[in-house]
Amino acid sequence: MNMNSSDEMKKGIQTGTTTVGLVGEDGVVFAADKRATMGYLIASKDIDKIHLIDDHIAITIAGSVGDAQMLIRWLRVEMMKYRHENEKSISVEAAATLLANILSSNKYFPFWIQIIMGGYDIRPRIFSIDMVGGVTEESKTSTGSGSPVAFGVIDTQYKKGMKVSELIPIAAKSVMAAMGRDAATGEFIDIVTITKDGSRKLQKDEIEKLIKI
């Protein structure tokens, strides 16, 4: 996200970023780079942009780090509250609707974020959510300043019905392509998968092998 110096002072560290979400036949795949910027300064080379908010739901963040961190805390509390009151986990769609309502209620002073939320309940699903609460269900999506480059890879390689194991290399390649062209995207890649068996974060050596493919 490109901002002038006044905006940077108000909003602090930004994840200019590239995040990716893909839906497969057996689960979802998230990928994101590790760089955070403050104007032209690389403020962090090791920031997490993929966060679990429940056992079966994760979000990716692009935008203001402070806003995103606050929303993550808020959502985790709401997920625990829902589980306690209903004795079951919230659905992915209901969680996306909850977040959309939170964002929509703050239109006057919006959260400077763009989020991909997804997971697995009775089937894998992903939703793209903008800063004022707009929600769209997607089978493939990307956010952040590097997303146009990432989409170039995703659109040529993604097909509906692919397995998570087939989508992981596509997610890695799309973020790598963005790292090569977008100054706000960089350092390394995180990849998280969610299937009916739960979530898994790929290890560094697994991702290094993918990058070399």
Annotated active-site residue in 17, 37, 141, 195: 17
R_g (Cα) of the chain, nearest Å: 16
Active site (annotated) includes residue 17: yes
Q: Which residue is it, tokens 């350092």?
A: 187
User: Which residues are known to be catalytic?
Assistant: 17
